[in-house]
Amino acid sequence: MDTTDLVLAIIHHLLVFSLAAIIGAEFVLIRGDLPAATLKRLAGIDGHYGIIAALIIIVGIGRVFWGLKGWEFYVHNWVFWAKMAAFGIVGLLSIIPTVRFISWNRQASTNPAFAVPAAELASVKSYIRAEGAIFLLIPVFAAAMARGYGI
C-alpha cells in the first residue's frame, strides 16, 4: 500500500467536494434580491472557489506524478483529458460570475441603494447553472478512469 497515493487521493476528493459545495452555495445565494451582505458573502465564497480550484490542480498534478498509476496512465488516457477539459470549461465559465461579484460588491459598498441589474443577475445565474451541469461530468469521467476506461 502506498500512503502517498492514499493521502493525495483523499485530499483531492475533499477539495473536489468542496468546490461542488461552493458552486452549490453560489447557486443558492444568487436567487432573489441581493442585499449588500449577500454580495459580500458571494465575493468571499467566490474567492475560496479560486483557492480551492488552484489546490485541486496542485494536488492533481501530485497524483499524476506521485500516485500509483504514474503519469503514463494519465498522459495517454482520453477520459483523463475529457475530465481536464470539463474542469477547464467550469473554470472558464466561472470568470463572468467572479467579475460580476467583485463589481457588484464594489458598487454596493459605495452606493447603499445599489441594486443588481436584472439582466446581469440572469446572466450570472445561467453561468452558474452551466458550471454545475458541466461539473457533474467530472466525477463521471473520474469513475470511468478509475475503472480503466480511456487507455
Could you tell me the three cell numbers for 127? 453561468
pLDDT of residue 36: 87
pLDDT of residue 1: 57
Structure-model confidence comparison of residues 2 and 94, the more confident one: 94
pLDDT of residue 68: 87
pLDDT of residue 50: 95
Could you tell me the three cell numbers for 74? 494519465
Tens digits of residue pLDDT in 80-135: 999 999 999 999 999 999 999 999 999 999 998 999 999 999 999 999 999 999 99
Annotated domain spans of the chain: 3-146
Tens digits of residue pLDDT in 29-70: 998 788 888 999 999 999 999 999 999 999 999 999 998 888
DSSP letters for 16-53: HHHHHHHHHHHHHHTSS---HHHHHHHHHHHHHHHHHH
C-beta of residue 50 within 8 angstroms of C-beta of residue 90:
no
CA angle 133, 139, 142 (to 5 degrees): 140
69-85 average pLDDT score: 94
pTM confidence score: 0.91
Q: Is 77 helix (H, G, I), strand (E, B) or coil?
A: coil
Which stretches of 1-151 are DSSP H helices?
3-29, 36-66, 70-75, 78-93, 95-110, 118-135, 137-146
pLDDT of residue 4: 92
